[in-house]
Structure 1
Amino acid sequence: MFAGGLAFAVEEASTQKDLEELACKDVMRLSGNQREYALAFVHGDRLVKMNTTQYEIEVLAAMTDQYIDHCLDNPKDNALATFEKIGKSQRGCR
């Protein structure tokens, strides 16, 4: 019985991820809703770090476009660090 439980635990893949460990290529490889969720998450993470809930949708859209372009050109860059760098250069979130 113990061995069967152990086998189940080994077979079950972990769904836990660490955003700080993702490379740009990892985010770009996500498909459909998964990429949308990841991008929404990093936008939210940035707002939390800025201690605000206010934003301008045009600025967020521009940041997303800039982020995708950067990641396509630099797939080995860290995904979160890249987003933070782009965020520091943007205004529109208070």
Structure 2
Amino acid sequence: MSGQTKYGEHAALVEKMAEALGLDLTEEMMAGNWTPEDMQSTVSRCLGCTDPAHCKGWLGEHAEGTEETPDYCRNKDLLEAMRTRLVSA
């Protein structure tokens, strides 16, 4: 798998994990709460995941949404903090 393809796969996983939490990263970017650099850092952490197929399965099981990410998610704290901030607003 090429680096770009792997990066794209993990970028999609980040987007889907955010969506499962009810987050719209594009909206967050337009509101100035999320930057391209934030996305790059988040995807870079996701790239360190050793089992993206497991994540894909988990996301499939939570297609209706969830309030928290799985414990193994390398972006758990970041995404859940963003969700908490938006829910509290």
TM-score class normalised by the smaller sequence: 0.3 to 0.5
Q: TM-score, normalised by structure 1?
A: 0.44
Q: TM-score, normalised by structure 2?
A: 0.45
Whichever of the two has the greater Rg, that structure is 1
Which structure is richer in relative contact order (CA contacts within 8 A, separation 6 or more)?
Answer: 1
